């Protein structure tokens, strides 16, 4: 079942990349503005300058581009399960580390300061989200930030995953008390920050 889902996901995004190339449409985002708003909220996790970051589900490398444009210098690694996404990301940023990697299966050997994930749960489920949270938090030195569509959204699309932000917050707080829920930036979305220690 998992392998079938992974193939379906890769095929879906590969087709979008083939059709649209380096474009917001290849990521199935609603708009560049909403994507960049989410990047801004993710970047407020902590002082990111000089930190090592793994961007899970990096797509075409847009978060890396956003960091550059906002003068945030990091030791960045982007990973994604879709080879065509990584191929395009490497074309855009040949001196940056991008890898084809299914984090929940393949893992990686290094331990970054921070992990971020934007927009990777849209077609997932609660089990996948909780697995991601648990494994990601175990890998970091400092902090984790991820976003998701919200069950509190007034307008919902069929076949998309809308978890309850308070339920996800409660799950995260069982892992660490140093957890923050953000719902103040988008009517259909929420972001959670998790820290190894009390954030300074």
Residues 102-153: tens digit of each pLDDT: 887 776 777 999 999 998 998 889 999 999 999 999 999 999 999 999 999 9
Tell me: pLDDT of 1 over 50: no
User: How far is it between the farthest Cα atoms of the chain?
Assistant: 45
Judge whether 200 lies within some domain: no
Judge whether 139 lies within some domain: yes
Bridge-based pairing of strands 189-195 and 143-149 is antiparallel
Tell me: pLDDT of 13 over 50: yes
- E strands present in 41-178: 52-56, 75-80, 97-100, 114-117, 143-149
Judge whether 159 lies within some domain: yes
Judge whether 71 lies within some domain: yes
Judge whether 86 lies within some domain: yes
- Note if the pTM is more than 0.85: yes
Confidence (pLDDT) at 11: 66
Confidence (pLDDT) at 177: 96
To the nearest whole number, what is the mean pLDDT of the chain?
Answer: 89
Confidence (pLDDT) at 29: 62
Task: Identify the CATH number of the domain in which residue 160 sits.
Answer: 3.40.50.150
Q: What is the mean predicted confidence (pLDDT) over 181-189?
A: 94
Judge whether 27 lies within some domain: yes
pLDDT, tens digit (0-9, with 9 covering 90-100), for 149-166: 999 999 898 888 999 999
Are the CB atoms for 165 and 147 separated by under 8 Å?
no
Q: Quote the domain boundaries for residue 55.
A: 2-195
Q: How far is CA 50 from CA 53, 55, 75, 94, 154, in A?
A: 9, 15, 7, 20, 39
Number of structural domains in the chain: 1
Judge whether 152 lies within some domain: yes
pLDDT class of 200 with cuts at 50, 70, 90: low
């Amino acid at each position: 079942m998992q392998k079938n889902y992974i193939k379906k996901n890769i095929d879906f995004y590969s087709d979008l990349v083939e059709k649209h190339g380096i474009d917001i449409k290849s990521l199935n985002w609603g708009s560049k503005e909403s994507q960049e708003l989410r990047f801004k909220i993710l970047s407020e996790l902590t002082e990111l300058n000089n930190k090592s970051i793994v961007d899970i589900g990096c797509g075409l490398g847009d978060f890396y581009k956003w960091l550059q444009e906002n003068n945030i210098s990091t030791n960045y690694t982007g990973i994604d399960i879709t080879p065509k996404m990584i191929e395009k990301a490497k074309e855009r940023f040949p001196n940056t580390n991008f890898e084809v990697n299914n984090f929940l299966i393949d893992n990686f050997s290094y331990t970054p300061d921070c992990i971020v994930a934007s927009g990777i749960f849209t077609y997932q489920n609660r089990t996948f989200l909780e697995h991601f949270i648990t494994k990601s938090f175990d890998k970091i030195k400092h902090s984790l930030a991820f976003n998701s569509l919200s069950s509190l959204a007034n307008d919902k699309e069929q076949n998309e995953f809308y978890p309850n932000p308070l339920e996800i917050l409660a799950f995260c707080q069982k892992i660490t008390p140093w957890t923050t829920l953000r719902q103040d930036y988008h009517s259909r979305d929420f972001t959670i920050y998790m820290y190894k220690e009390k954030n300074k």
